[in-house]
Chain A
């Protein structure tokens, strides 16, 4: 379960979020919408503890932002899959190596890594492109690779920051369907987007952000 309890955060150059209260149950798919600068990314960064609240607290299962030690943050992130608009794939590693990276961090052995990564590449429909580097893949393929990298460690939570931002409508629709399928298997998903038309008919809870606050 994710709980954001009366959280405020402000950047030194202005902006941020104030008095945010939000709860996401296990397996729930929630959209976070709002214009650029409304605080969506700040919420996500607070959730994966890249930022710490200046007031209030963030709780993800047993991890509490008020009491967590900095050296324990990696253990929280191992349970969270993060998907970015700009993919964040490593340019000097091929598709296989990019997807395998979280498994190396978790200490999986070579045979398991080969099996899981090949399975994952197959699931996202990129079989045959294992040795392709990110610049050799299309935007949609890179985003699918990014999702595969987030999912390969079987996370409890997925945080997606504008994952459809660089995709055409068809690829965006497919990506939402893929995330819905993952959510049905019990993974909580919080997806930030400013494309209301894409998400309005999906039947999931929508939280609207404006000027750093949740719009009631």
Chain B
């Protein structure tokens, strides 16, 4: 317990003792967190947008003449078991007649003397797919039924939107990974400079019987404190920018930017602690080899 308190105190004191190198380390983590935090918010909002668009995806299935409403009800139950299908709304011949009248203003019965409109159903897709939605298998499944006359869908549009979304996710992962790697290297080099300037301390600690962890721990705590300080600064910066700009963005696009302060803090804190730990551990471990 006494050792733990000493190590913890040394880690915090080191931040103050090495304040000039701390500034560059904190600043590099801060920049990485600003990039990652911005991408996180863009990703959350893109996700919200994609869910909104997915909500609009619809597949219309028209049944052949003579298929009874009872058979349609059975078919609808079958359709529900197809992977990706969320809800199904059946449009009976009477419903179709009503829709025709509301859209064209004419009563089809009085024009033709009979109702030629087929029974149909509208299929809504699930929104929370793990990756991009591929509706081709759903269409192929629906067309297998001999009672189905025609399947209308926005396949090309959906696949274009989904491809953009997939590319966006990949690019985001690449940018975050690159900024993480760069940060690890910067922190590692900053801590290495500190370690080199503390050669005397490290040697003295080793000669009086300090274990590897006793020597390493204060440097790692120092890296973690850098990460924590950078997180606080970056979260305030990001939220400040969002508060300042969200009204302009809403005025321009009618799009209300969504963000969760606690979630942003949690993600950025985890990232910065990870980067701080890996960076400082890498530097001191290479020195102690």
Give chain A's interface residues, CB within 8 Å of chain B: 48, 50, 71, 74-79, 82, 88, 90-92, 101-102, 104-110, 149, 153
Contacts and interface: CB of A to CB of B under 8 A. Distances in A.
The 3 residue pairs across chains A and B that have the minimum distance between CB atoms:
A78-B209, A77-B209, A102-B208
Interface string B167-208: 000000000000000000000000000000000110111111
Contact of A92 (B17, B205, B208, B214): B17
B126 to A, nearest CB: 54
B3 A101 contact: no
Contact of B2 (A50, A77, A107): A107
Nearest to B211: A74
A11 B162 CA distance: 65
A102 B214 CA distance: 12
A108 B209 contact: no
Given A77-B209, A101-B205, 11 more contacts: A74-B210, A74-B214, A75-B209, A77-B206, A79-B209, A88-B204, A90-B204, A104-B3, A104-B6, A109-B2, A110-B2
Instruction: Label chain B's interface by main secondary structure.
Output: helix
A74 B2 contact: no
A166 B211 CA distance: 30
B212 interface: yes
Contacts of A92: 17, 201
A106 B209 contact: yes
Contact of B214 (A50, A76, A91, A105): A105
A90 to B, nearest CB: 6
A144 B206 CA distance: 20
Nearest to A104: B6
Nearest to A88: B204
A50 B204 CA distance: 12
B200 A88 contact: yes
B206 A108 contact: no
Given A88-B200, A90-B204, A92-B17, A102 B209 contact: yes
Contacts of B208: 77-78, 82, 101-102, 105, 149, 153
11 contacts: A71-B212, A74-B210, A76-B209, A77-B209, A82-B207, A88-B203, A102-B208, A105-B3, A105-B205, A107-B2, A109-B2
Contacts of A101: 204-205, 208
Interface in B189-243: 200-201, 203-212, 214
A104 B201 CA distance: 14
Contacts of A88: 200, 203-204, 207
A107 B3 CA distance: 5
B274 to A, nearest CB: 26
Interface of B: 2-3, 6, 17, 200-201, 203-212, 214
Given A107-B2, A108-B2, A90 B201 contact: yes
Nearest to A110: B2
A102 B207 CA distance: 9
Nearest to B4: A107
Contacts of B17: 92
A25 to B, nearest CB: 23
Contacts of B214: 74, 105
B2 A48 contact: no
Contacts of A74: 206, 209-212, 214
A71 to B, nearest CB: 7
A176 B154 CA distance: 95
Nearest to B208: A102
Contact of B211 (A71, A108, A109, A153): A71
Contacts of A77: 206-209
Nearest to B13: A92
Nearest to B10: A104
Contacts of A149: 208
Nearest to B214: A105
Nearest to B7: A104
Nearest to A79: B209
Given A104-B6, A110-B2, A90 B210 contact: no
A106 B6 CA distance: 11
Contacts of A71: 211-212
A41 B233 CA distance: 50
A71 B210 CA distance: 10
Contacts of A82: 207-208
Contacts of A78: 208-209
A92 B209 CA distance: 20
Residue among A48, A78, A79, A107 facing the most chain B CB atoms (10 A cut-off): A107
A90 B209 contact: no
Contacts of B201: 90, 92
A48 B214 CA distance: 19
